[in-house]
Amino acid sequence: MSTYNSTHIKFEYDITSSGALTDYTSGVDKIGDQPIKNGMKVNTPFGTAYPTKSPTGMIEWPPFPVEGEFNDDAASACMVLRAARADKSCRTVKVTFGGTKTVSAECYVTEWGLVPTVGDASRFKVMIEPTGTITEA
């Protein structure tokens, strides 16, 4: 069994409607937790002391943060993701965890902000919100 670390992570984003993914790994140094969840519904009857749940058949990739050092170059991850939030575009995001293990979906950038720090480089932080079909490989 292979083990992977941060050198195996890859963050790709589709900056145009053409579907071609661009690698922005060098502009990102933190990606939030990546749980892929089976949708569940609560169907607990009255008089039951513990909740019961059943699967809905839906799969969810919850929203997650992406962070990196601030860079005002128009082609940087920072500025591309800022523009995506401003124009409300839905684009493909693909995260590779190591080897060939990936997850991808159409996503919105719902938040973008600067994280200024004293004595260190300023940072940016965005919130990525997947929508629709999730592809796991």
Output the pLDDT for position 99: 81
**Taking 80 as the threshold, does the pLDDT of residue 2 lie above it?**
no
What is the largest distance, in Å, between two alpha-carbon atoms of the chain? 60
What the chain holds in terms of domains, given with CATH numbers, is 6-32+61-136 (2.30.110.20)
Query: Which pLDDT belongs to residue 5?
Result: 84
Element (H, E) at 27: none
What pLDDT, in 10s, does the model give residues 73-130?
999 999 999 999 999 989 999 999 888 899 999 999 999 999 998 999 999 999 999 9
Task: Give me the pLDDT at residue 76, please.
Answer: 95
pLDDT at 1: 66
Looking at residue 7, its pLDDT comes to: 87
What are 37-64's pLDDT values in tens digits?
999 999 999 999 999 999 999 999 999 9
Rounded-to-5 percentages of helix, strand, coil across the chain: 10, 50, 40
Dihedral (Cα; 98, 104, 110, 111), 10-degree rounding = 10
pLDDT at 8 over 70: yes
- At residue 137, what is the residue type? A
Q: Provide the token pair at 91.
A: 């684009």
- Predicted TM-score of the model (pTM): 0.86
